[in-house]
Amino acid sequence: MPAIRVIPCLDVADGRVVKGVNFQNLKDSGDPVELANRYFLQGADEITFLDVAATNENRGTTLDMVTRCAEQVFIPLTVGGGIRALEDVSRLLASGADKVSVGSAGIRRPELLSEIAKEHGNQVLVISLDLKRSSTKSGFGVTSNGGRELTDLDAMEWVRQVQDLGAGELLVNSIDADGTRDGFDLELIDRVKQISQVPVIASGGAGTLGHFVAAAQAGADALLAASVFHEGMFTLSDVKEAMKAAGLEVR
């Protein structure tokens, strides 16, 4: 089994890192470049940078910020937000991103996902899945526009479809758990893992070191968190030590 990755997430709006609860009431958490560098020095395995306002503001991700992060962070950098066309992906990769995270645009135009995978390779394509409990067949639905709109897509059917279209990884974010610090949605992780043939990154709900351990034991290949790191509740080293103590392999 590959080592479990620990990934700080930088949700960015108006040039600042922000964080809220269930994607609402966003609060300023600092400068994205400074935070990215801090987490790199602390031993982050990767950094995920999501421009949470880009889609709703109908614009692309701020390329200058991506470039400045890439100049200081020498680990894989995943960037998402505002990606609507293959050209957006090419610009992000040229600016220093290693992977791109695509959510709403793939829902609107699924063929974009296969275009990205064909042009740049599956390893570049991370599918952002903002999922929440709903009345769909699986009990989980797919949201778009940063968790603001619930679509009529069934989450598990969409997971199967995006893999067929070329997904290299699945970023599974629980809208219900996001920012609550009550723990990752273990049922959701398990359900996705049962049908996934690519790595699953679990996101949403981290509040204690035990939550990271539980999510890894539920099958997550990587663990993504934001506010617990931004606010200094614990460090990346604390998370990795807790997982090692539980017998899990980390980098």
Enzyme catalytic residues: 11, 130
Q: Which two tokens stand for residue 193?
A: 């893992």
As a whole number of angstroms, the distance between CA 43 and CA 38 comes to: 9
Q: Which two tokens stand for residue 196?
A: 């996934």
Whether 64 and 73 have beta carbons less than 8 Å apart is answered as: no
User: Do the strands 24-30 and 16-21 form a parallel or antiparallel pair, or are they unpaired?
Assistant: antiparallel
As a whole number of angstroms, the distance between CA 250 and CA 93 comes to: 27
User: Do the strands 200-203 and 169-174 form a parallel or antiparallel pair, or are they unpaired?
Assistant: parallel
Whether 110 and 159 have beta carbons less than 8 Å apart is answered as: no
As a whole number of angstroms, the distance between CA 218 and CA 235 comes to: 22
